[in-house]
Amino acid sequence: MNRRLWVYGAAVLFLTWAPTQPTGAQAPLSSAEPILEEMGKKIEDRNVPTPERLEVIRLLGEWASPGARPALLTVLKDPDPQIRAAAAKALGWPGDDEAVAPLKERAGAPGEVASVRAAAIRSLGQIGDRSVRPLVVAAIADPNASVREAALWGVALGSLVDPADRTSYLIQFAGSRGFDAQARADAIRALATVNEERVVESLSRILETEPRVRMVMPPGGLNQQQIMALRYAQIKDVAAWAARTLGVLQAKSALPLLLQTAEDPKDFFLRLMSLQALVTWKAPEAYPVMVRRLEDPLPEMRAMALTGIAVLHDPRGVEPVLAVLSDSNAEVRATAVATLTVLGDPKVRPQLEALQEKESDPNVRYVLENALAKIGP
């Protein structure tokens, strides 16, 4: 059989079977054993092209079963560092205790390449054997960044977390600019439950110094591929998550920073998270920012700014909000009407009646009816 077709066939089989198997537990393997044996032969055969061996190793790692372990342990000593690193990564499923000793050996092997050591330490941090925690903690001081990242992940976000020092490690991980952005964002979100001054200081520093993600909303509607790309960019937007977490922590010392980032010209997700914090805080200092954001190119920002003006209940907001009644986005128009209802100025009734005569969106018409019922003549 063609090797490439075999890999794809194995992928289909494993994606079909794997979800029914309890991860890391002794599952019935009678029907899977022939496939596992064949896959084991593939990854041990050095005549098979490296990309194909790596793909099979990845599949065995996703299988996460004792039946996949023997072959992975064998290639953990393969001459090719790519194969060793992939095997070390694949062995990192929770409860894979029999892989702990071989992984410790790889992590501490003299002259071992950094990629293999990092993969071994990351897997040790996933397996959850507490006896390896001193080794992983010691690796935080390693001169190689990938090894440090793997070690910090294990004690900050992985299975080797200790409440006594977790906050310190989360702060260190979140502030390490060279680390994976998505994992750093995970660390920042985890800090949302720790209301301490050192956390606020660290997040404020990240918000102030982190390079901005250039995030542009394409005009018109988004297709599925664009939506997925946008979501992927958002989960990796470290500065935006720092802004959100500062908002959750009610860190009012960060107010000057959030007033700036709420108008960041490049990163609309950062603008949105910052403005959301200002709205939650009901910060009167944010009123000028909210008025300017009524002209933001992103409808969600315009709607959020309107909500902020309503929350502040500032009568100065009536005129700026009236101008938004002609917004091209129905949600924004509806929010503008709701904001005018909260502000309660009877002078806006003629404008609302004029909008009612031409408005076709049912949601906006519903909000208009409620507004006209509440606002006096």
> Quick one: tokens of 33?
């054993």
At residue 117, the pLDDT reads 98
pLDDT in tens, 77-117: 999 999 999 999 999 999 999 999 999 999 999 999 999 99
Mean pLDDT calculated for residue range 291-297: 95
- What percent of the chain is predicted at pLDDT more than 90? 77
Residue 26 pLDDT = 42
Quickly tell me which residue has 């894979």 as its tokens: 96
Environment class of 188 (CB within 10 Å of its CB; exposed 0-12, middle 13-18, buried 19+): buried
Nearest to 192 by CA among 176, 171, 172, 178: 171
Q: What is the structure's pLDDT at 229?
A: 77
Residue 328, classified by CB atoms within 10 Å of its CB into exposed (0-12), middle (13-18) or buried (19+), is exposed
pTM listed for this prediction: 0.86
Q: How confident is the model at residue 222 (pLDDT cuts 50, 70, 90)?
A: low
pLDDT-based confidence at residue 5 (cuts at 50, 70, 90): very low
Question: What whole-number distance in Å separates Cα of residue 193 and Cα of residue 242?
Answer: 13
**What integer is the mean pLDDT of 222-237?**
79
Residue with tokens 């002209």: 295
Residue 19 pLDDT grade (very low, low, confident, very high; cuts 50, 70, 90): very low
Local confidence band at 3 (pLDDT 50, 70, 90 cut-offs): very low
Q: Which two tokens stand for residue 358?
A: 């031409």
Q: What is the CATH number of domain 1-145?
A: 1.25.10.10
Across residues 46-73, what is the average pLDDT?
A: 93
pLDDT at 25: 43
Residue 267, helix vs strand vs coil: strand
CATH number, domain 285-377, options 3.30.420.40, 1.10.150.20, 1.10.10.10, 1.25.10.10: 1.25.10.10
Distance CA 125, CA 2 (A): 37
* DSSP secondary structure code for residue 222 in this structure: P
User: Torsion angle, CA of 127/131/136/139, rounded to 10 degrees?
Assistant: -150
- Helix (H), strand (E) counts: the chain: 22, 0
- Closest residue by Cα to residue 279 from 253, 257, 301: 301
Measured distance CA(89)–CA(117) in Å, rounded: 10
Query: What is the pLDDT confidence band of residue 217, given thresholds at 50, 70 and 90?
Result: low
115-126 residues labelled b (16+ CB within 10 A) or e (exposed): bbbbbbbbbbbb
What was the pLDDT predicted at 266? 86
pLDDT digits (tens, 9 = 90+) for 250-280: 999 999 999 999 999 888 899 999 999 999 9
At 309 the pLDDT is: 97
Residue-range domain boundaries for the chain: 1-145, 192-281, 285-377
CB atoms within 10 A of CB 275: 28
pLDDT in tens, 298-320: 899 999 999 999 999 999 999 99
User: What number of residues does the chain have?
Assistant: 377
pLDDT > 80? residue 215: no
Three-state SS annotation for 164-201: CCHHHHHHHHHCCCCCCHHHHHHHHHHHHHCCCHHHHH
- Mean pLDDT in residue range 5-12: 44
> Using CA atoms, how far apart are residues 21 and 28, in angstroms rounded to an integer?
8
Q: What is the pLDDT of residue 87?
A: 98
